[in-house]
Amino acid sequence: MATVIRSISDLTKILESRIQQALKMTQQEIFEVIQQHITDYYKEPVFRNGTSAIPMIYDRTYKMLNSLIKTDIVKTNGTLSCSVEIDPNYLDYQYMGGASGLDIMLSANEQFHGWSIEGDMRIWDDALAELGLKPGILYIMKSNLKKCGVPIK
């Protein structure tokens, strides 16, 4: 059944709804790519001369594995936005030994596991590169807008 648009207000509501849907789809795609890089980090065989993904000198808590979050979509000054980010509670978390979640995240983005074992992954940078950085994310958003019925060039 066709939607009848009787006013600019009706059009705005329909467009905003479709933009929110496209934004949510884009957010999910970004989340999945970054989460996969975090998961792959935990599987990287850097211990025992590159034969194991299990550390020998510390026990993993897996807190970083579950730290990625999606925020709600918010409207501020007419602009819809959301983010995919590391939970601020994790960034403030203190591990035994004094490192914070932020310290661990930074080390993981500098190809280290716990600042002690070097690996090959930069989890955040690699994920953003896979997404195509800002141009790639804009392309994903445009594609999702089209899927949601918003004609865009």
Residues in the chain: 153
What confidence category does residue 30 fall into, taking pLDDT thresholds of 50, 70 and 90? very high
The pLDDT of residue 145: 98
Average pLDDT over residues 50-68: 78
Distance in angstroms (rounded) separating the CA atoms of residues 131 and 137: 6
The pLDDT of residue 67: 97
The whole-chain average pLDDT of the chain stands at 92
80: enclosing H helix or E strand: strand 79-81
The alpha carbons of the chain give a radius of gyration, in whole angstroms, of 20
pLDDT at 143 over 60: yes
pLDDT at 31 over 60: yes
Structural domain that includes position 95: 8-147
Q: Is residue 3 part of a domain?
A: no
Q: Report which of residues 51 and 121 the model is more confident about.
A: 121
The pLDDT of residue 46: 78
Q: Is residue 125 part of a domain?
A: yes
- pTM for the model: 0.89
pLDDT at 115 over 80: no
Q: 3-class DSSP state for residue 118?
A: strand
Distance in angstroms (rounded) separating the CA atoms of residues 151 and 153: 7
pLDDT at 108 over 70: yes
For residue 100, how many other CB atoms are within 10 A of its CB?
14
The pLDDT of residue 7: 93
Amino acid letter for position 132: G
What domain count does the chain have? 1
Q: Is residue 153 part of a domain?
A: no
* Residues contacting residue 109 through CB under 8 Å, at least 6 positions apart: 122, 123, 124, 125
Q: Is residue 70 part of a domain?
A: yes
Q: Is residue 78 part of a domain?
A: yes
